[in-house]
Chain A
Amino acid sequence: DSGVTQTPKHLITATGQRVTLRCSPRSGDLSVYWYQQSLDQGLQFLIQYYNGEERAKGNILERFSAQQFPDLHSELNLSSLELGDSALYFCASTSSPGHGQETQYFGPGTRLLVL
Protein backbone atom coordinates (compact mmCIF):
# COMPACT_ATOMS: atom_id res chain seq x y z
CA ASP A 1 0.00 0.00 0.00
CA SER A 2 1.61 3.24 -1.20
CA GLY A 3 -0.59 5.49 0.95
CA VAL A 4 -2.03 7.20 -2.13
CA THR A 5 -5.76 6.67 -2.58
CA GLN A 6 -7.87 7.10 -5.69
CA THR A 7 -11.61 6.98 -6.21
CA PRO A 8 -13.53 5.57 -7.87
CA LYS A 9 -11.78 2.34 -8.82
CA HIS A 10 -13.93 1.85 -11.87
CA LEU A 11 -16.02 4.25 -13.91
CA ILE A 12 -18.23 3.50 -16.89
CA THR A 13 -19.79 6.35 -18.79
CA ALA A 14 -20.95 7.39 -22.23
CA THR A 15 -19.37 9.55 -24.89
CA GLY A 16 -19.92 13.25 -24.38
CA GLN A 17 -20.19 12.96 -20.61
CA ARG A 18 -18.04 14.50 -17.90
CA VAL A 19 -16.38 12.69 -14.99
CA THR A 20 -14.24 13.61 -12.01
CA LEU A 21 -11.46 11.43 -10.66
CA ARG A 22 -10.18 12.00 -7.15
CA CYS A 23 -6.75 11.48 -5.62
CA SER A 24 -5.60 11.81 -2.02
CA PRO A 25 -1.81 11.98 -1.68
CA ARG A 26 0.26 10.36 1.04
CA SER A 27 0.15 12.12 4.36
CA GLY A 28 2.51 15.09 4.22
CA ASP A 29 3.04 15.00 0.45
CA LEU A 30 2.48 18.34 -1.24
CA SER A 31 2.87 17.35 -4.88
CA VAL A 32 0.47 15.36 -7.05
CA TYR A 33 1.08 14.03 -10.55
CA TRP A 34 -1.55 12.61 -12.90
CA TYR A 35 -0.76 9.96 -15.49
CA GLN A 36 -2.83 8.23 -18.16
CA GLN A 37 -2.21 4.66 -19.29
CA SER A 38 -3.91 3.51 -22.46
CA LEU A 39 -3.20 0.37 -24.46
CA ASP A 40 -1.62 2.17 -27.39
CA GLN A 41 0.16 5.03 -25.61
CA GLY A 42 1.52 3.46 -22.45
CA LEU A 43 1.96 5.53 -19.29
CA GLN A 44 1.94 9.25 -20.04
CA PHE A 45 2.28 12.25 -17.78
CA LEU A 46 -0.66 14.63 -17.80
CA ILE A 47 -0.18 17.34 -15.18
CA GLN A 48 1.46 18.14 -11.83
CA TYR A 49 0.31 20.25 -8.89
CA TYR A 50 2.32 21.39 -5.92
CA ASN A 51 0.63 22.83 -2.86
CA GLY A 52 -2.37 23.97 -4.86
CA GLU A 53 -0.54 25.39 -7.85
CA GLU A 54 0.01 23.91 -11.28
CA ARG A 55 3.71 23.09 -11.71
CA ALA A 56 4.09 21.18 -14.96
CA LYS A 57 1.97 20.11 -17.90
CA GLY A 58 2.37 17.13 -20.15
CA ASN A 59 0.17 15.68 -22.86
CA ILE A 60 -3.07 16.84 -21.32
CA LEU A 61 -5.98 17.54 -23.63
CA GLU A 62 -7.85 20.83 -23.40
CA ARG A 63 -10.97 18.83 -22.49
CA PHE A 64 -9.15 17.72 -19.32
CA SER A 65 -8.44 19.88 -16.31
CA ALA A 66 -7.23 19.37 -12.79
CA GLN A 67 -6.94 21.17 -9.49
CA GLN A 68 -5.47 20.65 -6.06
CA PHE A 69 -7.44 21.74 -3.04
CA PRO A 70 -6.26 23.26 0.27
CA ASP A 71 -6.41 19.83 1.93
CA LEU A 72 -4.04 18.70 -0.87
CA HIS A 73 -6.36 16.21 -2.52
CA SER A 74 -6.57 16.57 -6.27
CA GLU A 75 -9.26 16.09 -8.85
CA LEU A 76 -8.91 15.37 -12.55
CA ASN A 77 -11.90 16.47 -14.61
CA LEU A 78 -12.48 14.86 -17.98
CA SER A 79 -15.19 16.36 -20.19
CA SER A 80 -16.73 15.71 -23.62
CA LEU A 81 -15.50 12.17 -23.26
CA GLU A 82 -14.52 10.17 -26.31
CA LEU A 83 -14.02 6.45 -26.78
CA GLY A 84 -10.27 7.04 -26.87
CA ASP A 85 -10.29 8.42 -23.34
CA SER A 86 -10.85 4.93 -22.01
CA ALA A 87 -7.76 4.23 -19.96
CA LEU A 88 -6.28 3.79 -16.52
CA TYR A 89 -5.67 7.05 -14.72
CA PHE A 90 -3.06 7.10 -11.97
CA CYS A 91 -2.00 9.75 -9.58
CA ALA A 92 1.29 9.83 -7.74
CA SER A 93 2.50 11.96 -4.89
CA THR A 94 5.82 13.15 -3.55
CA SER A 95 6.97 15.29 -0.67
CA SER A 96 8.63 18.63 -1.24
CA PRO A 97 9.95 18.58 -4.79
CA GLY A 98 13.46 19.82 -5.19
CA HIS A 99 14.45 18.98 -1.63
CA GLY A 100 16.48 15.84 -1.59
CA GLN A 101 15.63 12.73 -3.56
CA GLU A 102 12.13 12.86 -4.94
CA THR A 103 10.38 9.53 -5.34
CA GLN A 104 6.88 9.30 -6.73
CA TYR A 105 4.45 6.87 -5.10
CA PHE A 106 1.47 5.79 -7.15
CA GLY A 107 -2.12 5.14 -6.26
CA PRO A 108 -4.09 2.08 -7.43
CA GLY A 109 -5.65 3.95 -10.33
CA THR A 110 -9.10 4.58 -11.75
CA ARG A 111 -10.19 2.50 -14.73
CA LEU A 112 -12.35 4.60 -17.04
CA LEU A 113 -14.45 2.99 -19.75
CA VAL A 114 -16.22 5.25 -22.21
CA LEU A 115 -18.97 3.53 -24.21
Chain B
Amino acid sequence: DAKTTQPPSMDCAEGRAANLPCNHSTISGNEYVYWYRQIHSQGPQYIIHGLKNNETNEMASLIITEDRKSSTLILPHATLRDTAVYYCIVRVNSGNTPLVFGKGTRLSVIA
Protein backbone atom coordinates (compact mmCIF):
# COMPACT_ATOMS: atom_id res chain seq x y z
CA ASP B 1 0.00 0.00 0.00
CA ALA B 2 1.03 3.57 -0.64
CA LYS B 3 2.53 5.32 2.37
CA THR B 4 1.07 8.69 1.47
CA THR B 5 -2.27 10.43 1.75
CA GLN B 6 -3.38 13.01 -0.78
CA PRO B 7 -6.69 14.77 -1.40
CA PRO B 8 -8.50 13.11 -4.31
CA SER B 9 -9.04 16.31 -6.25
CA MET B 10 -8.25 20.03 -6.31
CA ASP B 11 -9.04 22.98 -8.52
CA CYS B 12 -6.76 25.89 -9.31
CA ALA B 13 -7.29 29.04 -11.35
CA GLU B 14 -4.98 29.47 -14.30
CA GLY B 15 -2.03 31.70 -13.45
CA ARG B 16 -2.34 31.11 -9.72
CA ALA B 17 -0.09 28.92 -7.60
CA ALA B 18 -1.23 25.34 -7.14
CA ASN B 19 -0.35 23.91 -3.73
CA LEU B 20 -0.72 20.15 -3.54
CA PRO B 21 -0.42 18.64 -0.07
CA CYS B 22 0.81 15.19 0.85
CA ASN B 23 0.83 13.46 4.20
CA HIS B 24 3.53 10.87 4.87
CA SER B 25 3.50 10.56 8.64
CA THR B 26 5.25 7.16 8.68
CA ILE B 27 8.20 8.22 6.52
CA SER B 28 11.55 6.73 7.50
CA GLY B 29 14.78 8.66 7.81
CA ASN B 30 16.22 7.27 4.60
CA GLU B 31 13.10 7.73 2.47
CA TYR B 32 12.82 10.46 -0.11
CA VAL B 33 9.64 12.24 -1.19
CA TYR B 34 9.06 12.00 -4.93
CA TRP B 35 6.42 13.71 -7.04
CA TYR B 36 5.24 12.51 -10.41
CA ARG B 37 2.31 13.55 -12.53
CA GLN B 38 0.31 11.81 -15.22
CA ILE B 39 -1.41 13.83 -17.87
CA HIS B 40 -4.41 11.93 -19.23
CA SER B 41 -3.07 8.44 -20.04
CA GLN B 42 0.48 9.45 -20.81
CA GLY B 43 3.47 7.99 -19.00
CA PRO B 44 4.07 9.39 -15.51
CA GLN B 45 6.35 12.41 -15.61
CA TYR B 46 8.96 13.05 -12.93
CA ILE B 47 8.61 16.44 -11.28
CA ILE B 48 10.86 16.73 -8.26
CA HIS B 49 12.12 14.91 -5.19
CA GLY B 50 13.72 15.72 -1.86
CA LEU B 51 14.91 14.27 1.43
CA LYS B 52 14.53 17.01 4.02
CA ASN B 53 15.49 20.30 2.47
CA ASN B 54 13.18 22.31 0.28
CA GLU B 55 13.86 21.83 -3.41
CA THR B 56 13.13 23.86 -6.51
CA ASN B 57 13.53 23.17 -10.18
CA GLU B 58 12.15 24.57 -13.40
CA MET B 59 8.84 22.78 -12.91
CA ALA B 60 7.99 23.15 -9.25
CA SER B 61 9.02 23.65 -5.65
CA LEU B 62 8.87 21.03 -2.94
CA ILE B 63 8.39 22.12 0.65
CA ILE B 64 9.00 19.42 3.28
CA THR B 65 8.04 20.10 6.90
CA GLU B 66 10.75 19.95 9.51
CA ASP B 67 9.40 16.71 10.98
CA ARG B 68 9.16 15.33 7.41
CA LYS B 69 5.64 14.07 8.02
CA SER B 70 4.13 16.12 5.23
CA SER B 71 5.08 18.05 2.16
CA THR B 72 3.62 20.43 -0.41
CA LEU B 73 4.26 20.56 -4.11
CA ILE B 74 3.95 24.06 -5.48
CA LEU B 75 3.37 24.87 -9.13
CA PRO B 76 4.00 28.63 -9.06
CA HIS B 77 1.91 29.68 -12.07
CA ALA B 78 -0.46 26.90 -13.06
CA THR B 79 -1.48 26.58 -16.70
CA LEU B 80 -4.13 24.47 -18.36
CA ARG B 81 -1.38 22.03 -19.35
CA ASP B 82 -0.75 21.32 -15.68
CA THR B 83 -4.12 19.56 -15.42
CA ALA B 84 -3.12 16.03 -14.40
CA VAL B 85 -3.07 13.47 -11.61
CA TYR B 86 -0.23 14.23 -9.21
CA TYR B 87 1.35 11.41 -7.23
CA CYS B 88 3.33 11.83 -4.03
CA ILE B 89 5.55 8.80 -3.36
CA VAL B 90 7.98 8.01 -0.57
CA ARG B 91 10.79 5.57 -1.22
CA VAL B 92 14.38 4.81 -0.40
CA ASN B 93 16.93 5.50 -3.08
CA SER B 94 18.22 2.03 -3.56
CA GLY B 95 18.47 -0.05 -6.67
CA ASN B 96 15.59 -2.40 -6.01
CA THR B 97 12.80 -0.14 -4.89
CA PRO B 98 10.02 0.36 -7.39
CA LEU B 99 7.61 3.24 -7.17
CA VAL B 100 4.44 2.53 -5.22
CA PHE B 101 1.66 4.72 -6.60
CA GLY B 102 -1.41 5.66 -4.63
CA LYS B 103 -4.48 7.29 -6.12
CA GLY B 104 -2.91 10.74 -6.30
CA THR B 105 -4.59 14.13 -6.55
CA ARG B 106 -6.46 15.09 -9.68
CA LEU B 107 -5.60 18.74 -10.26
CA SER B 108 -7.89 20.68 -12.57
CA VAL B 109 -6.59 24.05 -13.73
CA ILE B 110 -9.49 26.26 -14.69
CA ALA B 111 -9.32 29.17 -17.12
Contact = CB atoms under 8 A, between A and B. Distances in A.
Interface of A: 2, 4, 31, 33, 35, 42-45, 48, 50, 55-56, 58, 88, 90, 92, 96-98, 100-109, 111
B11 to A, nearest CB: 22
B49 interface: yes
By secondary structure, the B interface counts as loop
B77 interface: no
B42 A98 contact: no
* Interface of A (DSSP majority class): strand
A56 B34 CA distance: 20
Contacts of A45: 98-100
B45 interface: yes
Given A35-B98, A101-B32, A109-B43, 16 more contacts: A31-B95, A42-B103, A43-B38, A43-B87, A43-B99, A43-B101, A44-B101, A45-B98, A45-B99, A48-B96, A55-B95, A56-B97, A101-B49, A105-B46, A108-B42, A109-B42
A87 to B, nearest CB: 11
Interface of B: 32, 34, 38, 41-46, 49, 87, 93-103
Contacts of A107: 43
Given A42-B103, A43-B101, A103-B49, A97 B95 contact: yes
A98 B30 CA distance: 13
9 contacts: A42-B101, A42-B103, A45-B99, A55-B96, A56-B96, A56-B98, A92-B43, A107-B43, A108-B42
